[in-house]
Structure 1
Amino acid sequence: MPDKPRGDDRMKFSDTKERHHMANNMDLSHDLAKFASNTRFEDLPPQAVDAAKKSLLDTIGVMLGASGMEPATKPLIELVSEAGGKEEASILGFGGRVPAGAAAFANGTLAHGLDYDSQTPWGAHPDSSLVPALLALAERKGGVTGQELVTAVAVGQELFIRLRCNVGWHMDWNLSGAVGVYSGVAACGALLGLSSTQIAHAMGIVSLTAGGTMEQIFGIGSNLRGLYAGFIAQSCVNAVLLAQKGMLGMENLFEGEAGIFKVYFNGEYNREKMLENLGSEYLCAGMTYKYWPAVGNAHTYIHAAIELARENPIVIEDIQTVRVYVGDFAQRMTAPLDERKKPKTMMDAKFSLPFTVALALVKGKMSIWDFSTDALEDVQVLALANKVEPVFDESFNWNLKLPDGKVELVMHDGRRIERLGSEVPGTPERPMTWEELRQKFSECAEASIHPVPFENVKRVQDLIQDIETCDDVIEVLALVR
């Protein structure tokens, strides 16, 4: 696994960049573009193929679930549907066909709408923008095989991880948006069979849309969170189509005088680690899939709470205080504390430690059905959330790997019960199996605004699990649109 550069390593970033430019004027974008254009299905190890197929099933599932469970996605769906246009690609769940860029915009927003989408073991979300963009282009182009789609997914995931893990991130930019546009557009270019030169140009084009800060996640009161994945997906589709038509990008996108690494990441990046064993080692084989529809950093606390309730005969009313031990990132999920204890929107609820921990303790579980708008008014959940107290502990800081969380219950009779949220389901320590992923997909498909018929659900599951034999991936989408 790549190491997060920090401390003395950040000095090495600048040295790395300067040595590279003295020896070779070729920007990193050209290396990444060559990988994207040259990679073939037969180059992928079985684990990377399996991860790409799981990501396809998972992402299509959470898009369907969001169509029925997240009201915040509806304004965007209405806007895209009203605008109409050439019928190139499908809006999942809601139905209808619109231009490919618009479909990617709608489906990307759905994919991250529940915060139920996959993530890397180091956090951040490639698939919620990557998969909608690729599916929209596959429909637009037609005749895209399962092997071609799987290869493109793997390319996008691999480049996302290598960029995400080897830049100096200070919890400022939204990493999924700041690096996801480049990995996403590279994957889209691979799907369309563009040359490495065209893909490099597409990266330059899409750079004009990169951005978004962590305030959209740290702040409260908005419902913008799912929207960023839609914007990324739309930008990737538009950029790659422009490059295909001859639009030119820029030669020194990443490492130029005002390149991405200097402007976005203070010149802190590790070029060698980004390219180390690229094409022979696939870090994307470790992609993870969520058990619960909430921000990934909350999952260690959700797991700890569920296990506390399972392992101990707890009466909720007997709890005096719930302590959550938090580091730098998780602390933001408890502040401002009063607002976090009573979130006003579903997206705020999913980023609230008091609310998610209380919900897990009260329900003893958490499914797509438990995390609904009705839960925002659940008297027992809100009463327990009001008893949550954060305790800062820097040992729970997020230093690349998502940290374990700890939950401690202080009972009215003086007892104290604590649990560390280690070996969380859906992490590399306890990866989600195909059987569990199929169950998650079934629940999401049932939660869709137009529930998918049972026979179609099983057919989609079977098709995706064996998608490398599929001659046209439109066959899959025809069952769920």
Structure 2
Amino acid sequence: MAFPTTDIVHHLAACAAETRYEDLPSEAAEAAKKSILDTLGVILAASGTEPAVRGVIDLVREGGGRPEASVLAFGGKVPAMAAAFANGAMAHCLDYDDQTPWGQHCSSSIVPAVFAVAEREGGVPGADLIAAVAAGQDLFARLRRNVGWRKDWNLSTVLGVFAATAAAGRVLGLPGERLADALGIASMQSSGVMEVVAGTGSDLRAMYAGFSARGAVTAALLAQKGITGVPDLFEGEHGVFRTYFGGTYDREAILGELGTDYQGGGTLYKPWPAVGTAHSHIHATIGLMADHGLATDDIDEIRVHVGDYHDLMCRPLDARRAPSTLVDAKFSLPFLVAVAAVRRTVRVSDFLPEALRDTEVLDVVRRVVPVPDKSLDWTMELPPGRVELRLRSGRVMTRTGINVPGSTEAPLTWDDLTRKFEDCVAVAMTAPSVRQARMTVRLVRDLDTSDDATEIVRVLAAGQRDATTGH
């Protein structure tokens, strides 16, 4: 299909505006529903385990305003922009949210944005919410795959704000022209450097999705009120592609099969609450320990072979071996491998303050040694990880993590995601009951038949009231 030479923003906006649930491939519709359940669960888990979110919640409540949309886990309603900020700040907190096969996250921006707008608007059918999420995921995948990736930008926010804006605009029913304006407005919130992700000692890595979710809602609502955007947003002389990516992008690939091939269908879901680029090492470590019946006392050294991005998770090595915060622990390859060796899994509870001081884990982490390996550099797909165990007996065994749970080769099922959701809500600040959790799962799975998508939020909010009042 030939596209006019007008800026890509107009084609992407028109596609998002015209996306209908009935036209979605089944994989894309299912991925959107899975992402809704997965993101809601991670938000609830973060509310009870990440202390830093309290500052965000306090600030949002201090701001007051019209009670338009819910603050999950903490209760109460605030303006839609503030709710998107609060829920978005929790959505990536545990690094447990979904990702594309090429890395980076968009649902942690999209889902808080669409629910905030849906609650403000009222009466949004579930099928429309699914279509909105699918449109946003598709836009993100198309941009993520087909720009000249520079690893100094945090693409989860630089591009995520556009995905969330497209989704929020679709919920509002903006026509293509207005949605293009919204994407232009969203460029004011397109930001984020990788130092936020790779550096130590900051809370921002946990809560960056809050900024893109809030920016998306702001942009969509301003466009609804008639504010115009940037006609040549992506391909202009000073547009996004030249500014962020040196003018390197594949126009034909970005627009190829637009409106028929919804690329969010390939979304991946995490079995472990840790940075996705560590999952291959985690899987390899668990497999070696389990298959050979090893105890940690058997290990003399764990050599983790690392490419360029893995290496970021190992520097500075002393700090990575003794992370002081939940956020730093989730981005520490030595710590994650040590947890995998000790626990043979990685759980939310492994990042609580007392767990960061676990002497058995810290003893093993001192034996984790990174080994540079350029063959494991991150190019497009998430890079594999190789683990080499050197035992006190002199034996050496090596494994590369393949067929990792949650990968394209071994995707998580609805049953897997349901168990994950139930585990997440159990540690929420105010946990829904088992009945309410199961009702939420059912509502999400049947969302395409719902007359009002925000019934999901009301069920969760009822759980918060019950936990607060004791009824």
Q: State the match for 2:464 in structure 1.
A: none
Contact 2:289 / 2:295 at 8 angstroms: preserved in 1?
A: no
For the pair 1:186 / 2:166, whether they are aligned, the reply is: yes
Aligned residue pairs total 460
Whether 2:105 is the aligned partner of 1:116: answer: no
| Corresponding residue number in structure 1 for 2:176 | 196
Q: Give runs of aligned pairs for residues 344-363 of structure 1, distance below 5 A.
A: 344-363=324-343
Corresponding residue for residue 468 of structure 2: none
**Correspondence for 1:411:** 391
Letter in 1 for 2:24: L
- Give the secondary structure class of the aligned counterpart of 2:204: coil
1:30 alignment partner AA: H
Assess if the C-alpha contact under 8 Å between 1:293 and 1:371 holds in 2. Answer: no
| Counterpart for residue 7 of structure 1 | none
Give the structure 1 partner of residue 236 of structure 2: 256
Tell me the distance in 2 between the aligned counterparts of 1:148 and 1:139. Answer: 13
Work out the CA distance in 1 between the residues paired with 2:161 and 2:438. Answer: 33
How has the CA–CA distance of structure 1 residues 466 and 24 changed in structure 2, closer, same or farther, with 3 Å as cutoff?
closer
Mapped to 2, the partners of 1:250 and 1:395 lie a distance apart of 41
Query: Could you tell me the TM-score, scaled by structure 1's length?
Result: 0.94
- Asked if 1:445 corresponds to 2:430, the answer is no
Matched, 1:383 2:363: yes
Structure 2 Cα separation of the partners of residues 42 and 257 of structure 1: 38
Q: What whole-Å deviation, never above 9, does each CA across 1:221-264 have from its counterpart, x for those lacking one?
A: 11111221000000000110000001011111111111110011
Instruction: Among all aligned residue pairs of Structure 1 and Structure 2, give the percentage whose two residues are the same amino acid.
Output: 50
In structure 1, how many angstroms separate the alpha carbons of the residues matched to 2:52 and 2:420? 22
Partner of 2:39: 59
Cα deviation per residue 1:442-480 (whole Å; 9 max; x = unaligned)? 000111011110110110011111110111012111111
- Given the alignment, which residue of 278, 291, 294 partners 1:298? 278
Q: Does 1:78 align with 2:58?
A: yes
- CA gap of 1:285–1:25, structure 2 versus 1, over 3 A, is closer
C-alpha distance in structure 2 between counterparts of 1:258 and 1:172, whole Å: 19
* Structure 2: gaps spanning 5 or more residues: 462-471
Contact 1:61-1:445 at 8 Å conserved across structures: yes
1:30-66 per-residue CA deviation (whole Å, 9 max, x = no partner) reads: 0101101111111101111111110010000000000
Residues 1:462 and 2:442 aligned together: yes
- With normalisation by structure 2, the TM-score equals 0.96
Stretch moving more, 146-155 or 407-416: 407-416
1:260-271 equivalence runs, <5 A: 260-271=240-251
- What is aligned with 2:14? 34
Which amino acid in structure 2 is aligned with residue 114 of structure 1? L
- Which of 142, 146, 169 is matched with 1:166 structurally? 146
Q: Distance in 1 between matches of 2:5 and 2:137?
A: 26
Work out whether residues 143 and 159 of structure 2, in 8 Å CA contact, stay in contact via their aligned partners in 1.
Answer: yes
Q: Equivalent residue of 1:389, what SS? A: strand
**Structure 2 match to 1:480:** 460
Q: Report the CA distance between 1:322 and its aligned residue.
A: 0.6
TM superposition shift of 1:25:
4.8
2:300 to 315, 320, 327: 320
Pairwise CA distance, 1:365: 1.3
Partner of 1:369: 349
Partner of 1:150: 130
Aligned to 2:258: 278
Identify the residue that residue 411 of structure 2 maps to in structure 1: 431
Contact 2:350 2:356 in 1 (8 A): no
Give the whole-Å Cα distance in 2 for the aligned partners of 1:195 and 1:81: 33
The 3-state SS of whatever aligns with 2:397 is strand
For each residue in 1:252-311, what CA deviation from the matched residue of structure 2 results, as whole angstroms up to 9, or x when unmatched? 111111111001110011110000011111221110000000000011111111111211
The one-letter code matched in structure 1 to 2:111 is V
- The DSSP-based 3-state class of the residue aligned with 1:417 is strand
Residue-by-residue CA offset, 1:186-231 (whole Å, 9 max, x unaligned): 1111111101110111111110111110001111111111221000
C-alpha separation in 2, matches of 1:72 and 1:312 = 40
Paired residue type of 1:469: T
- CA offset digits 1:351-398 (Å, max 9, x no partner): 001000001100111222233222210111111111111111111111
Aligned runs of 1:208-227 on 2, under 5 Å?
208-227=188-207
Which amino acid letter does the alignment assign opposite residue 75 of structure 2? Answer: G
In structure 1, distance between residues paired with 2:243 and 2:346? 41
Greater Cα shift, 313-322 or 295-304? 313-322
Amino acid at match of 2:438: K
Matches within 5 A, 1:7-18: none
Instruction: Quote the Cα distance in structure 2 between the aligned partners of 1:206 and 1:284.
Output: 21
Residue in 2 that maps onto 1:310? 290
1:128 aligns with 2:108: yes
Secondary structure in structure 2 of the residue aligned to 1:313: coil
| Segment of structure 1 superposing worse, 106-115 or 175-184 | 175-184
SS in 2 for 1:203: helix
Distance 2:394 2:45 in 1: 42
2:222 pairs with one of 242, 248, 267: 242
